[in-house]
Amino acid sequence: MPLVFRQHIVVAVVLAVGLGVSSGAQADDDKHVSGVIIDNGNQGTLMVQTDGSSTPLTVVVDESTQVRRSGMLKSKKLSSDVLKPGLRIKADGTYENSGIFIARRITATKEDLRTARAIEGGLSPVDKQVAANVQRLKEQEQQIAANEERAAATAGAFNARISNLDDYTVIQSMTVYFANGKAGIAPKYKTELQQFAAQVKDVKGAVVQVQGYASAVGPDAINQPLSRRRADAVTAVLQQSGVTPTDLAYPAAMGTTGQVASNKTAEGQSQNRRVVVKLLQNKGVAGR
């Protein structure tokens, strides 16, 4: 074999090996995150509730991001339009910082895509994003956080006071209903809560019990915190209307427990998206 020809072969092999090493190094630098999309942010970002973390992660998606459906034999290319709230994804890429992840590739299983479509189909036409109110509630949650600190200080005493409901009489109860994926309180319910709060001061030994619920549509990772935000929102209105922390039991996030109607219909789902508020009176105090 001529010397020049052999040199060309050696150069080609070296370049091929070098490119392979370079490509492998880039893949090795990738990080992996898994979780559920809870909101579509601005400018091509997703808010993802990652597995094992209570803080949502911002995942950046751009034109170079590959979106594919994973499969047993081969993957299928998808449009980024499928990246909607309720979809469980796996993202490969790099961290820009602890709160921002740049996605190079995003994959979802066929089953998770089907589940996300089912969730989207159950939402109202006005708002087809599960938990799309996350950003909208930031200011309200900051206010509620301050209330929680005061309530948590005496949470043990509150729980002890209502540990045995046989010792209490239900003086009044009301239910606040919510839009799908929402924790905002409609004006008519705010008025009713203000009227409810006005009666608390006239009841000796009063304890106000607040329990938030979500309809059993979608994953628990969304429904459980959603029921908590609803309970917290109602608690905030009661406190702003004059109910003191010592008269409030710690707000309970009941998740999807206690479903009162079938979730197979929109009407049934609407009945399950609720917060139940009860005004209780200690029987021993009432008899004095």
Per residue in 141-153, pLDDT (tens digit) is: 666 666 666 655 5
CA distance linking residue 48 with residue 61, whole number of Å: 12
Is the model more confident about 194 or about 127?
194
Terminal Cα distance for the chain, rounded:
112
The set of residues, in sequence order, having a beta carbon less than 8 Å from that of 238 and lying 6+ positions away, is: 193, 196, 197, 208, 210, 248, 277
Q: Does residue 231 surpass a pLDDT of 60?
A: yes
Residue 288 pLDDT: 53
Residue 237: band (very low, low, confident or very high) from pLDDT cuts 50, 70, 90: very high
Sole residue written with tokens 């979809």: 87
Residue 152 pLDDT: 58
Question: How far apart, in Å, are the Cα atoms of 244 and each of 128, 191, 201?
Answer: 37, 18, 9
Mark 66-91 as b/e (b = at least 16 C-beta within 10 Å): ebebeeeeeeeebeeebbbbbbbbbb
| The two three-digit tokens of residue 245, written as one number | 């922390």
Residue 135 pLDDT: 44
Q: Does residue 285 surpass a pLDDT of 70?
A: no
Which of the following CATH numbers is that of domain 29-121: 3.40.640.10, 2.40.50.320, 3.40.109.10, 2.102.10.10?
Answer: 2.40.50.320
- Any idea how long the chain is? 288
Q: Does residue 22 surpass a pLDDT of 80?
A: no
Is the model more confident about 74 or about 132?
74
Work out the average pLDDT over 109-131: 66
Within the chain, all domains assigned CATH 2.40.50.320 are found at 29-121
Q: For 48-102, how does the pLDDT look when each residue is reduced to its tens digit (9 = 90+)?
A: 999 888 888 999 998 899 999 987 677 788 988 899 888 999 999 999 898 899 9
Residue 263 CB neighbour total at 10 angstroms: 15
CB 49 within 8 A of CB 221: yes
For residue 190, which amino acid is it? K
CB 116 within 8 A of CB 123: no
Q: What are phi and psi of 207, to 5 degrees?
A: -135, 125
Within the chain, all domains assigned CATH 3.30.1330.60 are found at 138-286
Helix (H, G, I), strand (E, B) or coil at 156: helix
Work out the average pLDDT over 262-276: 95
Least confident range of 5-19, 113-127, 144-158: 5-19
Residue 263 pLDDT: 92
Q: Does residue 31 surpass a pLDDT of 80?
A: yes
CB 284 within 8 A of CB 209: no
For domain 138-286, the CATH architecture is 2-Layer Sandwich (3.30)
Mean pLDDT of the chain: 79
